[in-house]
Structure 1
């Protein structure tokens, strides 16, 4: 018996470096549609995604530098971080008013969409890494993404081609009994 979903999840890995190849907007649409099927109590869809390509990545670099309190030229590494991939997908928890669904549950749905999308991108042959950091929720970064008061940025999926010289990584398997218990 084959287990394509289990095998895809077990094979998942992050790619810190990717090539300049990226999926097009049109190629992303069916993946986003599939990722939207994550558990979503109340069907609130408390999330949204923002594509950052081209100069938007440079503006993000400037916002990160501003968030660090430095002058733009003071930390070229900070400004260059968003340039590590040609496509960044910002993951936004877009919280909806609800008397039934707590904020944490809505954030979990948004994170679930991000993880499902990363799996779908990997299954489609793309390299992906979910990046966050201390400046994710800084005012300058919020402004760049056009976030409203009910939204929080959860990070970015850095997306690109898998480098031909990428070395396979192995993660130590867990002992599932250490993480799955009964009461």
Structure 2
């Protein structure tokens, strides 16, 4: 691994609060070109991303509130969550039957692309946070995104500017040594 990739991984922070600035579709597509280079058994490319901007975020909020069966103040609070960032990138696993690659592995590839994209966005100076929740795979939420059979939503990357260029605190270290073992 190059020093720059390691440094980008160590520097990455989730950004729960972002400004109204956001990358345009061309920048996202350019970063996806690199992010899409994850290990992909049988080269199925089992992923796609949907950019949600403007009123699409309101429609997502309405779908989330309806999926939760909430209205009134509680529904409005849930419906407002997608407005926390100017750009939401819906992460979609596009699975299909394959004799060598089970669906879980195809979803893992999509998650890998999303994680690499979050690293690249962070490295480019954008604030990013991966969000999901109990209604991520609800039929109303899938319908709002226009998902087809075999497509599953994995969550959204909330993307925006970093307030005053400040990076969030690092938080807890991974404690990798305690989570690693070796068999011989």
Give the superposition deviation at 1:14. Answer: 0.3
* Structure 1 moving runs of 4+ over 6 Å: none
Q: What RMSD over aligned residues (CA atoms) do the two structures have, in Å?
A: 1.5
Q: Distance in 2 between matches of 1:175 and 1:144?
A: 39
Taking the TM superposition and a 5 Å limit, the aligned residue runs for 1:73-152 are 74-152=74-152
Give the superposition deviation at 1:115. Answer: 0.2
Structure 2 spans left out of the alignment, 5+ residues:
none
Report the count of equivalent residues.
182
Taking structure 1 as the reference length, the TM-score comes to 0.94
- Number of the residue aligned with 1:36: 36
Structure 1 spans left out of the alignment, 5+ residues:
none
Q: Distance in 2 between matches of 1:3 and 1:38?
A: 18
Q: Deviations over 1:50-87 (max 9, x none)?
A: 00000000000100110011236652111100000010
Q: Distance in 2 between matches of 1:150 and 1:79?
A: 26
Q: Deviations over 1:109-150 (max 9, x none)?
A: 000000000000011110000000001011110100111221
Taking structure 2 as the reference length, the TM-score comes to 0.94
Structure 1 residues 48 and 10, CA gap change in structure 2 (3 angstroms): same
Q: Distance in 1 between matches of 2:74 and 2:127?
A: 30
Q: Distance in 1 between matches of 2:133 and 2:155?
A: 8
